[in-house]
Amino acid sequence: MTARQLALAALLNWQKDPQSHLEQHIKGNLSPKDLDLAYTICRGVLKEKSFLKATLNRYLKKDKLPKATETILLIAAYQRLFLTKIPNYAIISEAVKLAKQKSPAHASLVNAVLRNLDRDITEGFDPNKQDLSLSERYSHPQELIDLINEETKDQALTEQILIWDNAKPKTFLRLKNGGHEECLDVKAAVNSPEFKRGEIYFMQLWSQAVANAAPVKDGGNVLDLCAAPGGKSLALLDRAKIKLTACDLSEARLETLRENFARLGYSNAPNVTITKLDAAEADKHFPPNSFDLVLLDAPCSSLGTIQRNPELRWRFKIDQLSEYAALQKSILKAAQTLVAPQGYLLYAVCSFAKKEREAIDLLRQDKNWLLKEEKLTYPGEQNLFDGGYFALFQKKK
Ligand SMILES: C[S@@+](CC[C@H](N)C(=O)[O-])C[C@H]1O[C@@H](n2cnc3c(N)ncnc32)[C@H](O)[C@@H]1O
């Protein structure tokens, strides 16, 4: 299998199941270099899809192309427009080869379109100078751009977010001593003795900011209701000698959490309990007022993380926000009963959508709760990279 064959298969499989993670489709018996190329192409095509389509449309009639043909063209156009190290003739010949295998009826069309595009660019056509809508230029569905506009009420900030979403993401490590550093080589980090000894782990800066906002002290009884894969729980365990109950609804994600806990030396730790639980029913599992801190890192649209997860934009539906809001409200309703007097509830989402902070109105409107801190960031702001929101409340009695 070649890198482009894998990229095509992965993109077509992802299109069949857009709820799935792109990464899970990028698997094959390829050299690390080819696997990297397939990965870069897949992510790039999803980041630039509408822009590439608009550029290719100059050479296509209105007829709808089969998915395989369209995707082969997108893969080739992405390489031509965004990757500098692949010779143009190789891009075209690989695409035509792929078309002969997967959509032979369109192999000559693929050849003609890519040759025309290549010729035009060589003669000075600049795709960036096309007259395009924001949705085409930055490859975000209009529905999502409308939402971002509604949230920011600022055209320039909206455009900044769209640009940010398409930029190359950075990866960060949390150090066991609470510090952080940028990870420039993921493979080297994973193979490093520090990683194996659990002294560093991958954690984005926004997540670190949330974990750092949690008031923890030695002896504290902490409940993390949506804990998997465990990043914030682990940060809390590093910060103080707490008793931790980490829960999640997903057994598969709890399995990853257990692996992460084990690597950091917390397997069978007497102060850690791991439980599969529907957080909306948490009030039926634990006595009221029993935790000094409840962390509710709620399931959400993850709109603040599109830069790292380019496929998210294509499965965005405005109605999902109401569904998430309903789930967040039901979990918060159960969670707030579990906080002891003088204890804290930390609510967080990696989304900047207003709808996904409606849940906390329940605490804002209750005189028994005091808002101690809140933070809203749009993607790319405040050196936190992801966008998100958190609010820390204290229960009076
Ligand atoms: C934002 S992620 C949590 C990330 C985690 N706190 C960390 O820092 O690694 C949200 C989690 O909520 C879980 N979840 C979704 N619905 C849930 C529910 N009803 N009860 C408990 N967990 C749920 C998901 O499985 C997912 O692991």
Looking at residue 63, what is its pLDDT? 74
In the chain, what are the domain boundaries? 3-132, 171-395
Looking at residue 349, what is its pLDDT? 98
CA of 300 to the centre of ligand 1 (A): 9
Ligand 1 contact via 203 beta carbon (within 6 Å): no
CA of 287 to the centre of ligand 1 (A): 21
Q: Is the peptide bond before 310 cis (omega within 30 degrees of 0)?
A: no
The C-alpha atoms of residue 201 and residue 266 are separated, in whole angstroms, by: 14
Q: Which of 365, 208, 395, 197 is nearest to 291 (CA)?
A: 395
Which DSSP state fits 282?
A: H
DSSP E strand boundaries for the chain: 171-175, 180-183, 200-202, 221-224, 243-248, 272-276, 291-297, 339-349, 369-377, 388-395
Paired sense of beta strands 339-349 and 388-395, if any: antiparallel
- Non-local CB neighbours of 131 within 8 Å, separated by 6+ positions: none
Domain 3-132, CATH class in plain words: mainly alpha
Q: Which of 318, 298, 295, 315 is nearest to 306 (CA)?
A: 315
Give whole-number Cα distances, 228 to 152, 217, 234, 245, 257, in Å.
30, 22, 10, 12, 5
Mutate to test the pocket of ligand 1, among 210, 212, 248 (most ligand atoms within 8 A of CB): 248
8 A C-beta contact, residue 33 and residue 41: no
Which DSSP state fits 271?
A: T
The CATH homologous superfamily of the domain defined by 171-395: Vaccinia Virus protein VP39 (3.40.50.150)
Q: Which residue's CA is the nearest one to ligand 1's atom 17? A: 249
CA of 202 to the centre of ligand 1 (A): 17
What the block records as the tokens of 17 is 């199941």
CA of 193 to the centre of ligand 1 (A): 29
The C-alpha atoms of residue 177 and residue 175 are separated, in whole angstroms, by: 5
The C-alpha atoms of residue 343 and residue 268 are separated, in whole angstroms, by: 27
- Atom index in ligand 1 nearest the CA of residue 331 equals 19
Looking at residue 384, what is its pLDDT? 78
Q: What is the CA radius of gyration of the chain?
A: 24
SS3 146: helix
Paired sense of beta strands 291-297 and 369-377, if any: unpaired
Task: Sort 385 into a burial class: Cβ within 10 Å, 0-12 / 13-18 / 19+.
Answer: buried
Looking at residue 219, what is its pLDDT? 97
Ligand 1 contact via 278 beta carbon (within 6 Å): yes
pTM: 0.94
Q: What are phi and psi of 32, to 5 degrees?
A: -55, -35
DSSP E strand boundaries for 43-183: 171-175, 180-183
The C-alpha atoms of residue 216 and residue 90 are separated, in whole angstroms, by: 57
CA of 36 to the centre of ligand 1 (A): 29
Task: Sort 287 into a burial class: Cβ within 10 Å, 0-12 / 13-18 / 19+.
Answer: exposed
Looking at residue 90, what is its pLDDT? 95
Looking at residue 64, what is its pLDDT? 85
Looking at residue 176, what is its pLDDT? 85
Ligand 1 contact via 253 beta carbon (within 6 Å): yes
SS3 244: strand
- Atom index in ligand 1 nearest the CA of residue 257 equals 9
CA of 225 to the centre of ligand 1 (A): 7
Ligand 1 contact via 127 beta carbon (within 6 Å): no
Mutate to test the pocket of ligand 1, among 249, 259, 305, 389 (most ligand atoms within 8 A of CB): 249
Q: Which residue's CA is the nearest one to ligand 1's atom 19? A: 278
Ligand 1 contact via 250 beta carbon (within 6 Å): yes
CA of 54 to the centre of ligand 1 (A): 37
DSSP H or E segment with residue 54: helix 32-57
- Atom index in ligand 1 nearest the CA of residue 233 equals 8
List the chain pLDDT tens, one digit each, 397 residues.
Answer: 999 999 999 999 999 998 888 989 999 889 999 999 999 999 999 999 999 999 999 999 877 899 999 999 999 999 999 998 899 999 999 999 999 999 999 999 999 999 999 999 999 999 999 999 999 999 999 999 999 999 999 999 999 999 999 999 999 999 988 899 999 999 999 999 999 988 999 999 999 999 999 999 999 999 999 999 999 999 999 999 999 999 999 999 999 999 999 999 998 899 999 999 999 999 999 999 999 999 999 999 999 999 999 999 999 999 999 999 999 999 999 999 999 999 999 999 999 999 999 999 999 999 999 999 999 999 999 887 899 999 999 999 9
Ligand 1 contact via 248 beta carbon (within 6 Å): yes
Residue 341 exposure: Cα atoms within 13 Å on the Cβ side: 2
